[in-house]
Chains A and B, each alone.
Chain A
């Protein structure tokens, strides 16, 4: 494979485009509401109408508005069909010739779509995730070519540093700095790992990216591998994402066949292979040291850091671990330049962020917005607010490691620092909206139950502390708790946060702490008076000799 071949593939692909395209969402959300049948019926209807030369029916990745799936969008008109029934296929074909569709026509110009800025999701809903040619036609693998043939390793790292990209897995560590550390770490064997063990309740960004545009992740990993000097990559995906795994396998196979993975990529001395490792369902394996243990075939439990994976990771070798979305940002940064990327977002949080919008909100789905977009824009304008005339009470970000942001702080811009100040975190991108019917103690208890179930059991504060905190939250929830229980809960939150071994335990108290901070009255109104009787002073009053 060389540049001319790459260009040829792109041109052939573009030349083969037909007058009309019907893009049919084939991501898990729409597939679960029967979009495969919709696509088949559309294809059949095209043949029946004899329009094979004019209409292409293309299976694409996520088209964002998941709650209205299956989604079909027509090009070039941009007409969006929602909740498409397979039986409506024929009528949709007729709309191309001015007919009326027997499917709901959505507003493709609604704020939900228009306020989005797509970098990571640029190909999502456009390219066919099962055909590498479709990705190449969208300038795919051009960045890899540029990097391998025209850039020094150090220049690639500098470019990522200059872009200001920060880890999208949640903590927001500067990506370029991490790459630089791995690049500088001594060792002839190095690894690149993509963390696709997305486990936060309500989060489905990484799944969507993998299902919609797997090659963008592979390209990002290859660029990273070149920059840090690795030849082997692993993608660690959870087994609960079968479609994503299928698409990844397919993408790796196609990339290998085209010489875009393997030995001597683009006729350079650079070799890179990627293997998939499937997680067995433990949330803690999203923690990088536990993830590496799992890749090595051991029990997935975290180990203390330092040493950080960048110095000593897989099998003791320097290892770069980034999240799916982080890798998906890489090729666009190389293609468009660090300055372009740095021009988007806020001073300290550059680029965009993908969020999975869920909960008590009109428009459930996937959004990508520039960093710094106010939460209000996301939940009220784009999300359409709470359904059934409800009132938004809080927005939960960061999953079981995050916090609840109350409605009166909705003007907070979404960036790492601002969310941190509110006791929440950016997290990987789950955003759960809650309305006035939500009981905040119950929310805290839900997340604590999650952490308790998912604690690996290695360190005591997390293993036993989450059990006690869950017990106390349940007691308070059921109206059996006392002020003493609340005090014990707060002490435990502090202790578990300060003493746990890994991020799971250290952040497990966050949902409780943040609901205590903003909704303390909901806890207090459930408390029972203490029946413990008078507290002695530990000193019998008449103990002092009175005679």
Chain B
């Protein structure tokens, strides 16, 4: 590990060369929007909201998977980035059936908050209104595919923190969806330990505790952080 210096938004910052650009920016209090990143599990670079401009690179790079490097010049805000971020959010809202008003996560939803922060006051694209079901077969948790943004946080916490490997993605393109075990009802998925980490990780109202109604679903990420800190830093700090 070596110390390096890079520039983010005209500000010189120091970092370690093992850190990602997102990591460094967060440490410095520079906000970069992201929906698929979750502290403690590996990054997939899927939501494309954390794309940043790096001098000398003609493509936009995802901050979550791009390693900080000596002398790197990063820009996290620009007209172009703001435009793309807003479009990305609009595409997400048009893709499935996000009805904030009746959602368990209303007020605690990362997608909803992100849209407001990015100034998305309406969606310019035609809504798709696909037909997606809910899975309410699990005794404690439910999954509403209408609200899923396919960030795969649930899949990653299930495989890499809990180690159960219950959640996965099936199908492709717009028909991609989260499944449990071999595409069977959650309640019958034998590998599921009912640990609830997926529910804690979900950024929207797609995964929820049964019985919670509109705006009641709150995520407790501290448990995830506790496990990851314990595992990686050998520190048992709650």
Interface residues of A (CB under 8 A from B): 282, 284, 299, 303-304, 452-461, 463-468, 471, 488, 491-492, 495, 498-501
Contact = CB atoms under 8 A, between A and B. Distances in A.
Given A452-B173, A454-B173, A468-B91, A459 B47 contact: yes
Contact of B60 (A463, A488, A499): A499
Contacts of B172: 282, 284, 454-457
Nearest to B49: A460
A464 B92 contact: yes
Contacts of B47: 459-460
Contacts of A498: 59-60, 80, 84
Contacts of B176: 456-458, 463
A304 B62 CA distance: 8
Contacts of A491: 87
A303 B36 CA distance: 14
A495 B84 contact: yes
Contacts of B84: 495, 498-499
A452 B174 contact: yes
Contacts of A284: 172
Nearest to A505: B48
Nearest to B80: A498
Nearest to A468: B125
B44 A458 contact: yes
Interface string B79-91: 0100110011001
B95 interface: yes
Nearest to B83: A495
Given A299-B169, A464-B95, A459 B46 contact: yes
B175 interface: yes
Interface in B149-192: 149-150, 168-169, 171-176
B150 A488 contact: no
B51 interface: yes
B168 A299 contact: yes
Contact of A464 (B65, B124, B168, B174): B174
A509 to B, nearest CB: 13
Count class of interface residues, chain B: 20 to 34
Given A304-B45, A464-B92, A488-B125, A456 B173 contact: yes
Contacts of A466: 173
Nearest to B170: A299
B75 to A, nearest CB: 14
B169 to A, nearest CB: 6
Given A457-B175, A461-B91, A499-B88, 14 more contacts: A284-B172, A304-B45, A304-B62, A304-B65, A457-B176, A458-B150, A460-B91, A463-B174, A464-B91, A464-B92, A464-B94, A467-B128, A495-B84, A499-B48
Nearest to A491: B87
B87 A492 contact: yes
The interface residues of chain A, by DSSP majority, are classed as: helix
B126 interface: yes
Nearest to A467: B174
Contacts of B51: 499
Contact of B88 (A452, A453, A461): A461
A271 B54 CA distance: 43
Interface string B49-70: 0010000000110100110000
A303 B91 contact: no
Contacts of B175: 457
Q: Which one of B45, B62, B128 has the greatest number of beta carbons of chain A within 10 Å?
A: B45
B46 A467 contact: no
Contacts of B169: 299, 457
B25 to A, nearest CB: 17
Contacts of B174: 452, 455, 457, 463-464, 467
A338 to B, nearest CB: 31
B45 A303 contact: yes
Contacts of A304: 45, 62, 65-66
Q: Which of B65, B169, B173, B174 counts the most chain A CB atoms within 10 A?
A: B173
Nearest to B65: A304
A492 B92 CA distance: 13
For A452, A453, A460, A467, the residue with the greatest tally of chain B CB atoms inside 10 Å of its CB is: A460
B46 A458 contact: yes
B205 to A, nearest CB: 18
Contacts of B171: 457
Contacts of B128: 467
A501 B48 contact: yes
A458 B45 CA distance: 9
